[in-house]
Structure 1
Amino acid sequence: MADRPNHTTEQLGSGLVDLATKVAFLRQPSSYPEGAAAVDVKETHMSWVFLTERYAYKLKKPVRHDFLDFSTVALRHNSCEEELRLNRQLAPNVYLAVVPLTATPRGSLQLGGPGIPVDWLVKMRRLPESRTLDNAIRAGSLLPHDVRDLVDLLDGFYRSAPRIAISGEDYRRKMRDGIENNRVELARYCPSSMGSLIQRVSDAQARYIATHMETLERRAAEENIVEGHGDLRPEHVFLGPPPQIIDCLEFNRDFRILDVADDLALLAMECEQLGAPEVGRAFFRMPALLDTPPALITFYKSYRAALRAKLAIWHLKDGHVADPSVWENRALRYLTLAEYEQDGAMP
C-alpha cells in the first residue's frame, strides 16, 4: 500500500486540485489504466462512486460532520485503508486496493500513477446488481441455499468478531442516547405533522429500556456486544457463490459497537419491508442467537427503523433536494414501522 502523504504534500495536493476537477477526470473512461468503455457515476452524501465494466472506485468527499471527518487528504487516506481492512472480512474477493489519485508537476491527473497524491480511492471488483439480496427478493429468485450460505457467512463473522467489554449501565446509556438523538433529529427536520408519531416512538423505546434493564445488562454481561458490520442492509448483500457483504461502516468505530442481535435486526427489518420476513428470521436461528428474547429483537428492529427514518430525513439538511416529499415519505414509512415493531416489543 502507498505511503501516507505528509502534511506538506497534503496541503500542496489539496490546493492543486479541487473536487470538481477530480470528479471530472474520473468520469472519463480514458482515466482508468485497465481501460473502460464507459463510466457510470453514483453520488452519495459522503462519496462518489465510479463504475467501469469490471471495477468500482470510491472517492470520499472532503466533508466533516459530527460523526466523521474526511476534510483532509490524509484523513481520507486513513479511511480508505480502514474500509479496505474491514470489508475484507466479509468480501475478501471484492476489496482490492487503495489507489492514489496523483498530480504531475504540470498538473495533469493520473489514477495510480507517479506524482503527488491529491486523493485516494478504494478499488473494488464490480458485482452484478442482479445478485443483491434485495433484488433477488423482488425478483423471487432467492433460493434456500442462498440464505443458508449467508447464515453460514455471518455466523463465522460474528464468532470471530472482537468482543467489547462494556458494563450493562454503559450499554443502556448508549441505547438511551441513540433513541434521544433520533428523536431530536427527526423532530428538527420532519414536518410538524409527524411530531406526535416521533414522540410516541421515542417514548415507547425509552420505556422498553426502563422496563427491561436486566435483559440489556445480560446482553452485555454475556459478551453479545461486538465490533460488527454496522450497516447490514439487503443492498449490501451479494449472493454467491460465494456470498459477499460489502460496505461495513468504516468511518466511525462507535457505530460498529453493537449487539449482534442489533446488527442483524437491521437486515431482518429491511427484509420484512421487502416482503420476506422469513429471510430475516433465518438469521436469528444461528446457534449464538437462539436464546435471544423475541421482544428484544423487535425492540432492535424498531430502533433501527427509527434510525433509518433519521437518515432519510437528513437528506433535507442540505436544502438542495429537488423533491423533499420523497424523503419525508420514506421517513414516515420507517417511523410507522418503528411504532409497529415497538408495539410487539412491549408486554
Structure 2
Amino acid sequence: MHSSPADSDKSVGEGAQTRAIALLSDAATHGLPPGNKVDRIDTHAARIFMAGNRAFKMKRAVTYPFFDYATLSQRLDACEAELALNRRTAPSLYLGVGGLVRDGNGPIRLVEQAPVAADGGPDPSVLEYLVTMQRFAQTALLDRMAADGTLSPAIMRDLAATIAEFHEGAEPRPNAPGIEEMTDLAHTNIREMRKHGTLFDTGAVDRLDRTTRQALSTGGDLIDRRRDAGYIRHCHGDLHLRNIVMLDGRPVPFDCVEFGDRIAVTDVLYDLAFLLMDLEHRRLRSHANILFNRYLDLTGDLSGLSLLPLFMSVRAAIRAHLTASAAAGQADADKAAAMRAEAQSYLALANRLLSPPPAQLLAIGGLSGTGKTTLARALAPTLGPAPGAVILRSDALRKSLAGVAEDQALPDSFYGHDHSDRTYAEMAGRAGLALDGHHAVICDAVYARPDQRQAVEDVAQAAGAGFTGLWLVADQAVTLARVARRRGDASDATTAIVRRQAAYDLGDMRWEVIPASGNADETTAIARRHIAR
C-alpha cells in the first residue's frame, strides 16, 4: 500500500470527488467541442466516463467489506493493480493509469498517463487517478447480447476456451487460505444481508445460513485438497456477463478484481461459478450448460463438481447484498424498487442452488445418425443440479485419448475393440466421478454391445444414482442424410459406416426404444417421458 503526504491534503469519501466528477462529465475536459456528450456508467465501485475513443474509470471513494477506496493513495494502488491484472486477458483495452492533473497554477487537465511521487504514491499535482481504457461499444458486452437474444452457443464455446486457457495460465497459490476464506465469505454474506432489515425475508436468510454451513462442512476438505493440488489460483474474481466484451469476434474478459487477494485468489471453479450463476439468474440455463461442458471438456476438472452448488450459491448471495446496497443509494424510486426486487431474486436463487436435484445417469445409445448428441444437448440443461448434466460423448473422448482435435479424423484402427474398450472404460470412469460429485451425467455413445450397456448401468448402481437407458432408432434414409450433412464434427461416421452398422447384432435390448426419425423437438419430448426422476 502506498502512502503519501498528498493524502493528508485531501479529504476522503465521495464528497471529495465532486470536482473530479464535474470535470470528467464536461466534454471540454476530453478535448471535445461543446455539445458533445460524455457518457457515464456508475457501479458500486467505480464511475466510468466515456468520450470519443477513450473511457476513464474512476474508483469511487467508498468502503465495502471487500475493498476500501477511501483515500487517493488507495485508489492509485487499485488503478495500478487493475491495469496489471487486466492485461492478462485484455491487453488491448487497458492503456495506462491516467488522471486529472494540475500543472502549477494552470488549469486541471486530463492525461492518459499520470505522474506518481518518487515513493510510488500519489503525486501532489494529481486530483484523481483513473484507469485509461480503449472505448468499446456497449452493445458488444455479453450482458447486452444476452438481453437482446444474440448470445449464441458458439460464443459460449469460445468463452469456455478463453476461460480454460486463462485458468491454466493463472498463478497457482498453494499457500492461500482454502475453506477458511470460503467460510468467511459465506458468513459475510449472511451478516450483510441481515443489515438490510426487512428487505430480505428473515426465514430465507436463516435457511441460507443453515444450508450454507452444511455445505461448507461437507465440502471443506475437498476445497483444501483442491488448493493443495493447484486449483486455487489468481483468477478473475468478477467473471460475469457484464465484464466480458466481444472484440474482433472473440469474447474477452475484463474488469477483474484488483483489490487484494480475498476475492480473486480462489478455486478456478468458484471463478467460473459466477458466470454460471449469472447465466442461471438470467434464465439462460442452456447457455450455461454449453459453457460448463466445454470448459470440462478442455480442463477435465470433474473432481470439484460437488462444490459447484455451494460456489454458485455464495456468488448469488454476494450479488444479493451488493445489489441491496446499491438500491439503498439509488435516488430514483422506480430504479431502487427494481434493484430491491433483483436483490431478493438473488437470495431466492442462492437458496435454490443449495437444494439441487439428485444425481442421475442417462445413457443415450443408437447407431450413427440417430441423433444421440442432439438429444444429449437438448436434455442436459434439464437434468441434475445447475447448470445441468455433464455430457460425456464417446466421439469426442476417443479423439481426446488419441491426442487429436475433435474435428481431425482418426484411422480405422482407432475404432477396433482395444481402442473402443479404452474409450468406453474412460467414459465410465468419468461418469463415476461426476456421480460421486452428486451431479447428473449423460453418456452419449453407440452402445451396440450388451456388455457396454451393462457396464454403464453398473456405474450408476455403484454410485447409488438413478439410471435411464435410451436406445434411439431411425429410418436408414434419415440417418444417411444426417451423416452426409455433418461438417466439423467429432464423429468420423460415414454413410458407409451407417450401412455397415445395420447388420450389428445388438443382443438383448433392455433400454427404452425411442423413435428418432422425426425432428429433434419430437424426439426430445418422447425421451423426457422415459427419464428417471
Q: Normalising by structure 1, what TM-score?
A: 0.88
Q: Deviations over 1:10-44 (max 9, x none)?
A: 545769x9421211111111111477932012223
Q: Per the alignment, in what secondary structure is the counterpart of residue 250 of structure 2?
A: coil
Change (3 A) 1:238 1:128: same
Alignment of 1:301 with 2:339, yes or no, is no
Change (3 A) 1:345 1:53: farther
Residue of 182, 196, 201 corresponding to 1:194: 201
The residue that corresponds to 1:239 in the other structure is 246
Q: What does 1:281-296 align with in structure 2 at a 5 Å threshold?
A: 281-285=289-293, 286=295, 287-296=298-307
Shift of 1:85: 0.6
The residue that corresponds to 2:93 in the other structure is 94
Q: Partners in 2 of 1:296 and 1:151 — Cα distance?
A: 19
Q: Point out the more displaced range, 270-279 or 229-238.
A: 270-279
Q: Point out the more displaced range, 295-304 or 311-320.
A: 311-320
Q: Per the alignment, in what secondary structure is the counterpart of residue 96 of structure 1?
A: strand
Give, as a single letter, the amino acid of the residue that structure 2 aligns with 1:50.
F
Q: Is the 8 A contact 1:190 1:328 kept in 2?
A: no
Residue of 270, 276, 300 corresponding to 1:268: 276
The residue that corresponds to 2:213 in the other structure is 206
Shift of 1:278: 2.6
The residue that corresponds to 2:178 in the other structure is 171
Q: Partners in 2 of 1:316 and 1:276 — Cα distance?
A: 25
Q: Is the 8 A contact 2:66 2:262 kept in 1?
A: no
Q: Point out the more displaced range, 61-70 or 257-266.
A: 61-70
Q: Per the alignment, in what secondary structure is the counterpart of residue 356 of structure 2?
A: helix
The residue that corresponds to 1:220 in the other structure is 227
Give, as a single letter, the amino acid of the residue that structure 2 aligns with 1:268.
L
Change (3 A) 1:283 1:219: farther
Shift of 1:9: 4.5
Q: Partners in 2 of 1:188 and 1:140 — Cα distance?
A: 36
Q: Per the alignment, in what secondary structure is the counterpart of residue 275 of structure 1?
A: coil
Change (3 A) 1:77 1:35: farther
Change (3 A) 1:74 1:219: same
- Structure 2 unmatched runs, 5+: 116-123, 359-437, 439-533
C-alpha RMSD over aligned residues: 2.9
Q: Point out the more displaced range, 263-272 or 141-150.
A: 141-150
Q: Is the 8 A contact 2:2 2:74 kept in 1?
A: no
Residue of 149, 153, 176 corresponding to 1:144: 153
Residue of 170, 173, 177 corresponding to 1:161: 170
Q: Partners in 1 of 2:84 and 2:300 — Cα distance?
A: 26
Q: Partners in 2 of 1:309 and 1:279 — Cα distance?
A: 22
Change (3 A) 1:299 1:13: closer
Shift of 1:91: 1.1
Q: Per the alignment, in what secondary structure is the counterpart of residue 355 of structure 2?
A: helix
Shift of 1:303: 1.5
Q: Per the alignment, in what secondary structure is the counterpart of residue 92 of structure 1?
A: coil
Q: Deviations over 1:52-107 (max 9, x none)?
A: 13211111223344432323323222211111111111111111111131113336
Q: Is the 8 A contact 1:189 1:316 kept in 2?
A: no
Q: Highest Rg: 1 or 2?
A: 2
- Structure 1 unmatched runs, 5+: none
Shift of 1:163: 0.8
Q: Is the 8 A contact 2:192 2:321 kept in 1?
A: yes
Q: Is the 8 A contact 1:298 1:345 kept in 2?
A: no
Give, as a single letter, the amino acid of the residue that structure 1 aligns with 2:104.
P
Q: Partners in 1 of 2:261 and 2:344 — Cα distance?
A: 28
Q: Point out the more displaced range, 324-333 or 117-126.
A: 324-333
Structure with the larger RCO, 1 or 2 (CA within 8 Å, 6+ apart): 1
Change (3 A) 1:319 1:281: closer
Shift of 1:193: 6.2
Q: Is the 8 A contact 2:26 2:38 kept in 1?
A: yes
Q: Percent identity?
A: 26
Residue of 313, 328, 342 corresponding to 2:354: 342
Q: Partners in 2 of 1:257 and 1:289 — Cα distance?
A: 21
Q: Partners in 2 of 1:195 and 1:283 — Cα distance?
A: 34
Q: Point out the more displaced range, 77-86 or 38-47.
A: 38-47
Shift of 1:146: 1.9
The residue that corresponds to 1:20 in the other structure is 18
The residue that corresponds to 1:129 in the other structure is 138
Q: Normalising by structure 2, what TM-score?
A: 0.59
Shift of 1:174: 1.8
The residue that corresponds to 2:267 in the other structure is 259
Q: Partners in 1 of 2:74 and 2:97 — Cα distance?
A: 13
Shift of 1:187: 1.4
Alignment of 1:279 with 2:287, yes or no, is yes
Q: Partners in 2 of 1:306 and 1:66 — Cα distance?
A: 14
Q: Per the alignment, in what secondary structure is the counterpart of residue 127 of structure 2?
A: strand
Give, as a single letter, the amino acid of the residue that structure 1 aligns with 2:4.
H
Shift of 1:320: 6.0
| Corresponding residue pairs, total | 341
Q: Partners in 2 of 1:289 and 1:88 — Cα distance?
A: 27
The residue that corresponds to 1:50 in the other structure is 49
Give, as a single letter, the amino acid of the residue that structure 1 aligns with 2:47.
W
